[in-house]
Amino acid sequence: MFDIVRYFRWQDILDILVVAFVIYQLISIIRGTRSVQMVVGLGVLFVVYAMASLLDLSVLTWIMRTSLSSLFLIIIIVFQQDIRRALTQVGQSPFQKHADVVEKDLDEVIRSVFYLAKRRIGALIVIERENGLGEYVESGFILNAKLSKELLISIFMPVSPLHDGGVLISKGRIEHAGCILPLTQNPYINKRYGTRHRAAIGISEETDAVILVVSEETQEVSIVQYGSLTTINDEMSLKTNLRAIFLDKKKQNSFWQDWVGRK
């Protein structure tokens, strides 16, 4: 025990801190997504492999060793969305400011989604946070207009040429409309959800955006984040949710900003 302490170098402390930081980041990226089940699945495979070699089951050990030898490839394929999200976050400046969203913007959005829901008008609203959404909006139309309830409602009116697809809100402005977003490939999504909801989940799996969906079929309003969809019953609950994400400074701060802020 004493020997361990004696041979402990400052590099070892740094090593442990870096590994702990990387593990913390990986857990926060996959938390709440289906990747957690996949990690558990991979863990089970490792346990089976360990048991097989412990009990000297040669055929099973050989099969497991052969399949696990392509582990690197398996991890890349299975976790491609999470790897993409992680790299986007790594490539981002740790000091980058969060999207400027003020209470008034949230009120405009909240009032418009419930207005649309009451009238059975479908809508898909993507609110940008830290990850830029440039590559997803190329299919849409540039608006760069001041955010208002009236404009949001008009965009989603069925007679509007822009009503199909999603609207992107960035820094308090309606930047794009009619954006075609990637659909989720998650096979566990409830079959009752069609392409509008699947597109919302799809973009939330690849970015940190917050998406609001209004169902024209059920009149439900949902909030989607990190691949998970929650149905919201009233304006107050939506306000609480959005405030927690965009306005509550503590929750809003990233690990880096927290760290910098504490200094």
Binding site for ligand ATP (CB under 6 A): 122, 124, 164-166, 180-181, 183, 193-197, 199, 215-218
CB of 97 to ligand ATP, least distance (A): 28
CB of 214 to ligand ATP, least distance (A): 7
Cα–Cα dist 156/134, whole Å = 21
Cα–Cα dist 221/117, whole Å = 7
CB of 87 to ligand ATP, least distance (A): 23
CB of 189 to ligand ATP, least distance (A): 10
Q: Which is nearer to ligand ATP, 32 or 158 (CB)?
A: 158
CB of 13 to ligand ATP, least distance (A): 48
User: Using CB atoms, what's the residue nearest to ligand ATP?
Assistant: 194
Check: CB of residue 127 under 8 Å from CB of residue 211.
yes
Q: Which is nearer to ligand ATP, 61 or 122 (CB)?
A: 122
Q: Which is nearer to ligand ATP, 106 or 229 (CB)?
A: 229
Neighbouring CB atoms inside 10 A of 105's CB total 21
Q: Which is nearer to ligand ATP, 6 or 192 (CB)?
A: 192
Is the four-CA dihedral 255, 258, 262, 263 of positive or negative sign? positive
